[in-house]
């Protein structure tokens, strides 16, 4: 039997969302969801360990480690009203759990016992980990990032290695107070692929998605000069009146189909998406049972702690409405879902006869043969325009849908897509509708990369600022 080439880096230690729910998934101190975890200042001091300039056995010689870290920091400063003040440090290890930390927010790649221990057990395959210390009042006092000493890294897309800049960019999102996203093409989605998946470099997470930017702006405000923003919020219920818990809600630009922001509904069905530029949006909702599922969202504390244990009512994906977002205002959008069972559940996507659960990077003006896999997924389920995209810039050839042979018991279909040459950079979704009327989306599964950011954090000096005082009562959480 042929084996699928599946690169899945699953992140399981999660603390998600808010009350009220907000764009993206944000960290909160406890299950009350009333205290948001974030830095109390927009000037965030980060120490770059001397290990970034030292030879490491798991990092390809010649890799620009320090440059990758600086570029990753710069991506986030372009997205939100924050500034990183970087210093150098001889420190090598992240602060241990069960302590209040040392007040130094460290980025390290050193092979120390403390850093190795952070990846013990189920975390052994994770490329990076962020350990966040914060007070019961929600103020981050320290956030340390360590790369896994047992995993290979590079900056030149060497097959089989993780991309350093992509890994740093993801972990810095956690450092800021962001959690994982259910948008497949977001930097903060719960998985990272190694270079070589789809026979391509795995560098798309270097570029922040609109969902990533919306999350950072929700925490710290949009970067000055980036334009006025608005939001969408509401509640999603079943026709029975029961709240829809754990639905993935996302907004797309009505004109282009680009994914702009997302949210996961709380136990009371509430959601909120912030950081949206003024304009017309289509809003969708679907269960977490496809490429990103409820078990990846659930955590040991916070709003979604019981999501994996709670028997989620089945429902079909739906477009819940169209709204116009105005500057400095919130557009209301409530919805009721039928609660009919969802029978079409794509679990993997790919090109070049490889399947994975990370977004597929595509190039404007090019044609591709796409692959989708899932339980009971068959070409006979679809006819006419059964497989489409939500963007007028991506065309699916409906006559090309067919079954593929990937081995016994593995259901795979393929179809041809063509991208317009003038499609904008961003994340786009596939839409599947079966002959029975069931609908499912691969949210942000197609990603168009923009030009790499040229802004680097050039300043690398010392600061007279002392590390923030650590409160007597503090909380520490690891993020992968």
pLDDT by 10-residue block (mean), the chain, 480 residues: 33 27 46 70 96 97 97 96 96 90 96 95 88 88 96 97 97 91 93 93 95 92 86 94 91 97 89 92 92 71 66 81 96 92 89 94 96 92 89 95 91 96 96 91 92 35 32 55
- Is 11 in contact with 180 (CB distance < 8 Å)? yes
pLDDT value of position 37: 80
Instruction: Measure the CA–CA gap between 59 and 439, rounded to whole angstroms.
Output: 44
327 exposed, middle or buried (CB, 10 Å; 0-12, 13-18, 19+)?
exposed
Angle, in degrees to the nearest 10, between helices 210-220 and 164-176:
30
Among 3.30.9.10, 3.40.190.10, 3.40.50.300, 2.60.40.10, name the CATH number for the domain at 223-337. Answer: 2.60.40.10
What is the per-residue DSSP string for 270-325?
Answer: EEEEEEEPSEEEEEEEE-SBSSSBHHHH--SSSTTTTTTTS-PPP---EEEEEEEE
Region 348-448: CATH code:
2.60.40
Instruction: Measure the CA–CA gap between 40 and 220, rounded to whole angstroms.
Output: 10
Boundaries of every domain in the chain: 43-215, 223-337, 348-448
User: The pTM is what?
Assistant: 0.87
For 78, 147, 163, 431, the CA distances from 204, given in Å and listed in that order, are 17, 19, 10, 22
Region 43-215: CATH code:
3.40.390.10
pLDDT value of position 151: 97
pLDDT value of position 16: 25
**Is-same-fold flag (223-337; 348-448)?**
yes
* Pairing assessment for the beta strands 106-108 and 140-147 based on DSSP bridges: parallel
pLDDT value of position 6: 35
């Amino acid at each position: 039997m042929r084996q699928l080439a599946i690169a899945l880096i699953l992140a399981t230690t999660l603390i998600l969302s808010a009350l009220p729910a907000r764009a993206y998934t944000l960290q909160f101190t406890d299950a009350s969801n009333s205290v948001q975890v974030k830095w109390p200042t927009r000037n965030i001091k980060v120490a770059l360990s001397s290990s970034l300039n030292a030879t490491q056995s798991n990092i390809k010689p010649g890799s620009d480690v320090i440059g990758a870290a600086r570029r990753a920091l710069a991506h986030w400063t372009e997205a939100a009203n924050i500034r990183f003040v970087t210093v150098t440090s001889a420190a090598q290890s992240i602060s241990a759990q069960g302590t209040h930390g040392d007040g130094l927010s460290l980025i390290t790649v050193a092979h120390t016992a403390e850093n190795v221990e952070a990846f013990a057990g189920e975390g052994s395959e994770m490329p990076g980990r962020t350990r966040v210390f914060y007070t019961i009042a929600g103020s981050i006092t320290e956030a340390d990032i360590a790369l896994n000493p047992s995993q290979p890294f590079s900056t030149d897309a060497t097959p089989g290695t993780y991309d350093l800049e992509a890994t740093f960019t993801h972990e810095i999102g956690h450092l800021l107070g962001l959690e994982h996203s259910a948008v497949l093409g977001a930097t903060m989605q719960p998985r990272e692929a190694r270079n070589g998946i789809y026979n391509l470099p795995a560098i798309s997470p270097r570029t922040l998605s609109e969902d990533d930017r919306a999350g950072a702006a929700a925490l710290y405000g949009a970067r000055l000069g980036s334009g006025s923003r608005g939001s969408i919020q509401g509640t999603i219920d079943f026709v029975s009146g029961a709240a829809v818990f754990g639905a993935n809600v996302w907004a797309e630009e009505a004109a282009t189909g680009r994914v702009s922001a997302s949210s996961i509904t709380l136990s009371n069905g509430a959601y909120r998406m912030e950081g949206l530029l003024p304009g017309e949006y289509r809003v969708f909702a679907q269960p977490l049972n496809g490429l990103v599922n409820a078990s990846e969202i659930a955590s040991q504390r916070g709003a979604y702690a019981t999501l994996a244990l709670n028997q989620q009512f089945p429902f079909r994906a739906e477009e819940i409405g169209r709204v116009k977002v105005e500057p400095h205002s919130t557009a209301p959008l409530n919805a009721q879902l039928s609660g009919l069972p969802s029978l079409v559940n794509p679990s993997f996507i790919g090109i070049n006869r490889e399947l994975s659960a990370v977004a597929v990077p595509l190039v404007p003006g090019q044609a591709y043969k796409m692959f989708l896999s899932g339980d009971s997924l068959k070409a006979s389920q679809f006819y006419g325009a059964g497989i489409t995209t939500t963007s007028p810039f991506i065309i699916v050839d409906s006559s090309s849908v067919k079954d593929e042979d990937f081995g016994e018991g593995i259901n795979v279909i393929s179809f041809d897509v063509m991208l317009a040459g003038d499609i904008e950079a961003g994340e786009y979704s596939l839409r599947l509708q079966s002959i029975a009327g069931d609908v499912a989306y691969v949210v942000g599964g197609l990603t168009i990369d923009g030009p790499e950011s040229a802004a680097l954090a050039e300043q690398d000096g010392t600061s007279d600022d002392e590390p923030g005082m650590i409160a007597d009562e503090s909380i520490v959480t690891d993020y992968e």
